[in-house]
A and B are shown apart, each in its own frame.
Chain A
């Protein structure tokens, strides 16, 4: 069932049940009131009838008879019954009216007054006490007025209920349609968005309501989808371009060497170029391979508990091996006193790879100017900060630096393939870490890497 239909039915059911309850309430009290009123009238008649018939003072009897004749109109099918109470038995000898149970008379004896009703015929009995003899006086009559009154009330309520249910159903349909209108428009709009037009966005109302939040979330997701789609597309073209460049160089060099007979020195020169380019090709493919491997989950590697400062020393050593001319400093002044706050869990080799990539980049793009590494820890993260004084990254290019093959516009003559940083980020992410780069073109870079502290 559609939510719109559900809302409509729920709305109608709730309002109809409230209305039904209210109508029942009104009817119940109206009918009770009408009955009570009628019993009061019957009671007066019973007493007057008793006084007129059984009274001992002649003048009073005459007066009562006159009142009855002159002022009391006969009710529809009004009847009077008189029963003498037997003093010894404490009840009338033969009290019987058809349709009235015997318990009625007992109640009259005990409570001095009793009421009984069979459909529209109302009975009221009173015990008329006189010195000498007691009597039970019963008056019965049909309650014509309240029958009509309650009948019409019932009709009005029934018709009113049916009509208002219809009205509620219509209002409910309009109401639910109005409520779900923004959802429908979002669905409609999202249907239009496919992989070909990922740039389309939902119109944002700017409100802080649930629908506004929904479209904001959708747009956010579309942003990320679009970026990842684009980088996916770029990746393939960039990868093939990067791979074909050295290949072209190798083929060109070989063709040139084979085009005619040359002396030994020329061949050596050509082979050296070929070797260089092949070396570059191998470097690219191994980097790509490790990038692809780190893209999977890292459960199969050996994980151990390690210390962040040891990690940094190992990184410094590996950087010294690769680039002996570096100026890498390890600032230990921010280290926490507790050793526990330096430990993290991870794969040492992978983390060294990730960090040395970052540090080597820092050395490379600053022409071996000083690079400082700091380690500090908050209560749940250990932070490793790498600061260089190199060429920096233009601020508008910061969002893309982790895309494979992306290289900033100001790299100039520095050689690279744009695989290092994405690889580092993949490794750090595998360790539940976070990498943030703050930079401005020409002012160097500060890279913050945070890893979770290992809780034993």
Chain B
């Protein structure tokens, strides 16, 4: 059983990363934790309303959620769970605490794709990776996109209008 952390920017590439990860580690059971980093607000009013502010959940679209469910159904015997958590803060201590709290065994990071900023206060995780005290695996997500016989993740993501 492995707890795998995958940083996400809510795009189709994150879904490809999940698929690539599962394909690589499907020998055992996996708990997949999608993580998106958000910086802490720096004004006192925003801090006071911090726990009340649910804007971050608007980042998760219905399509993204459905695509995650599709992947989970596709690898039902391997994937025990796919959860999504936000990490608040951008320091290495926050990152280490986050990894510790979620019992992360492995971080999977896309090797040939740069994560985008999903919103204005998204945090760039790549700079924090070197402070992690667990294994980091960089997987390639740029697969054979041109294969006409395959339905790509990008085609799936349009699903459920």
Contacts and interface: CB of A to CB of B under 8 A. Distances in A.
Given A338-B73, A379-B69, A434-B161, A374 B149 contact: no
Interface residues of B, number: 18
Given A385-B156, A385-B159, A446-B155, A331 B149 contact: yes
B158 interface: yes
A370 B148 contact: yes
B113 interface: no
B22 to A, nearest CB: 12
Contacts, number: 78
Contact of A377 (B73, B150, B158): B73
A446 B159 CA distance: 9
A393 interface: no
A341 interface: yes
B76 interface: yes
B151 interface: yes
A376 B159 CA distance: 10
Tell me which of A331, A338, A389, A450 has the highest count of chain B C-beta atoms within 10 A of its own C-beta: A331
Given A338-B76, A372-B149, A378 B70 contact: yes
Main secondary structure of the interface of B (DSSP, over half): loop
A198 B134 CA distance: 66
A341 B160 CA distance: 16
A316 interface: no
Contacts of A454: none
B41 to A, nearest CB: 26
Nearest to A371: B148
Given A381-B160, A446-B155, A389 B75 contact: no
B73 A378 contact: yes
Nearest to A374: B151
A337 B78 CA distance: 10
A369 B27 CA distance: 38
A387 B155 contact: yes
A381 B77 CA distance: 20
Interface of B: 66, 69-70, 73-77, 148-151, 155-156, 158-161
11 contacts: A329-B149, A333-B74, A334-B74, A372-B148, A373-B151, A374-B156, A376-B70, A381-B66, A383-B156, A436-B158, A448-B161
